[in-house]
């Protein structure tokens, strides 16, 4: 087991990373049929029309991959971060919207595995339940560590009121791992498992974004949402510790895997275009031009640098290295910035062909921008890393 300690200025947070019971190659073999048969054929439509990739999620559920990080004792595969990272990267090569939905499901599942009810754990493991995080709020935006929504106990129930600004798979997931201010205790936050069909929940207008157009990332409001008090995940007031110690490492590392995957697609398409497109008057391909080759080299080296940091972060987590949390904070920001550089270069190499909608380079270029603005944003991560470098508390 590996423990991640966060210098928050409060009590250190320990994250238990369970060992994987499945082989990465086995997971990817199972995934490949889904990607080739379902995810890739639908990717252009998902992006163009902004539709939720329901067929892909259903296929992943049927394959058992939605239960990848669920414990074997509830029928899951018992996978860990390495397996989840490999799945998200492969999905991102084909459809980043699908990858992000699965990423958020895994992040929510980790919390539910540790603190949620047995019945929901069984349903997730069996592919019958899709979950997601509902952390960002209109009042605090990407600063998910500062929820403004309220919770109050009423007998055996709790009543929630919130204005969530961005929730992946909103209206499509079966439950939300939901943050609020504590109901009665001291502390910055409490987590709840909120059924998506709870009375008082309202999903906002359909998502129409620059990228990640099929991930149904919408606002969700809650007005007098009443759920059982037993749906509290962890202790009242202890939600931030859980969010930082359990959800954040999965989120940060899987965001990086997503960025790495879309970079690979951008590089593959740019190389293919450069090697097959001919300047007939010069009897040369674009790849015969040293300027083009320099761009392709920079793309490859930038992506490889992000991949190396991702691999090192996974090693740090699994071994419990002292620099683990530094790596967790770094990896999302580094991979996000790298993906912006790589996809920008891919657009330049692709020229007019890449500039048209409906091709993988254009889609990767737009999708790459999303990770920079998802909380914690790249700027927030720079601040956190800077504080750690200076030996300061994160908050």
**End-to-end Cα, the chain, rounded Å:** 27
Taking the CA atoms of residue 76, residue 79, residue 81 and residue 83 in that order, the dihedral angle to the nearest 10 degrees is -110
Q: Which of 128, 133, 160, 135 is nearest to 228 (CA)?
A: 160
Is it true that 24-130 and 134-238 share their CATH fold?
A: no
Cα separation of 9 and 250, whole Å? 22
pLDDT at 20: 64
pLDDT level of residue 10 (50, 70, 90 thresholds): very low
Phi, psi (rounded to 5 degrees) for 49: -95, -5
Query: Considering the domain 134-238 in this protein, what is its CATH number?
Result: 2.40.110.10
| pLDDT tens profile 174-199 | 999 999 999 999 999 999 999 999 99
pLDDT at 182: 98
pLDDT at 93: 98
In the chain, what percentage of residues exceed pLDDT 90?
87
| pLDDT tens profile 266-300 | 999 999 999 999 988 988 999 999 999 999 999 99
Residue 217 has pLDDT above 80, yes or no: yes
- Coil, helix or strand for 234? coil
69 contacts 109 by C-beta, under 8 angstroms: yes
| pLDDT tens profile 60-70 | 999 999 999 99
Strand boundaries in 155-245, DSSP class E: 157-167, 175-180, 190-195, 201-203, 218-228, 232-233
Domain boundaries, the chain: 24-130, 134-238, 240-389
Domain 240-389: which CATH number of 3.40.50.2300, 1.10.3720.10, 1.20.140.10, 3.40.50.720? 1.20.140.10
| pLDDT tens profile 11-58 | 333 444 445 678 888 888 999 999 999 999 999 999 999 999 999 999
Query: Considering the domain 24-130 in this protein, what is its CATH number?
Result: 1.10.540.10
pTM for the predicted model, two decimal places: 0.94
């Amino acid at each position: 087991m590996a423990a991640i300690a966060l210098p928050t200025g409060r009590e250190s947070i320990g994250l238990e990373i369970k060992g994987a019971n499945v082989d990465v190659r086995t997971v990817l073999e199972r995934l490949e049929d889904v990607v080739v048969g379902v995810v890739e054929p639908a990717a252009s439509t998902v992006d163009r029309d902004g539709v939720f990739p329901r067929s892909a999620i259903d296929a992943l559920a049927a394959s058992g991959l939605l239960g990848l990080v669920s414990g074997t004792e509830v029928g899951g595969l018992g996978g860990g971060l390495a397996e989840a990272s490999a799945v998200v990267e492969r999905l991102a090569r084909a459809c980043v919207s699908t990858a992000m939905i699965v990423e958020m499901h895994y992040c929510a599942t980790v919390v539910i595995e540790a603190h949620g009810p047995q019945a929901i754990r069984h349903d997730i493991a069996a592919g019958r339940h899709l979950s997601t995080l509902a952390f960002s709020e209109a009042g605090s935006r990407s600063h998910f560590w500062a929820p403004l929504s309220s919770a109050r106990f009423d007998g055996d129930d709790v009543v929630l009121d919130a204005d969530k600004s961005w929730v992946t798979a909103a209206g499509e997931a079966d439950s939300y791992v939901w943050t609020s201010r504590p109901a009665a205790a001291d502390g910055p936050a409490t987590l709840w498992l909120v059924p998506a069909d709870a009375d008082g929940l309202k999903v906002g207008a359909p998502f129409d974004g620059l990228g990640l157009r099929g991930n149904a990332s919408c606002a969700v409001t809650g007005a007098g949402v009443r759920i059982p008090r037993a749906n509290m995940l962890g202790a009242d007031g202890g939600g931030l510790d859980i969010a930082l110690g359990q959800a954040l490492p999965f989120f940060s590392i899987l965001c990086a895997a997503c960025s790495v995957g879309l970079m690979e697609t951008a590089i593959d398409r740019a190389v293919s275009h450069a090697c097959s497109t001919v300047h007939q008057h010069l009897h040369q391909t674009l790849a015969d031009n040293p300027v083009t080759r320099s761009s392709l080299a920079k793309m490859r080296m930038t992506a490889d640098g992000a991949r190396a940091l991702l691999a090192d972060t996974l090693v740090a987590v699994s071994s419990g290295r002292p620099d683990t949390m530094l790596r967790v904070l770094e990896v999302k920001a580094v991979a996000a910035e790298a993906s912006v550089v790589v996809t920008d270069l891919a657009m330049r190499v692709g020229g007019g062909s890449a500039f048209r909608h409906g091709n993988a380079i254009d889609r990767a270029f737009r999708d790459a921008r999303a990770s920079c603005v998802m909380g914690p944003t790249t700027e927030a991560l720079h601040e956190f890393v800077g504080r750690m470098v200076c030996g300061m508390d994160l908050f």
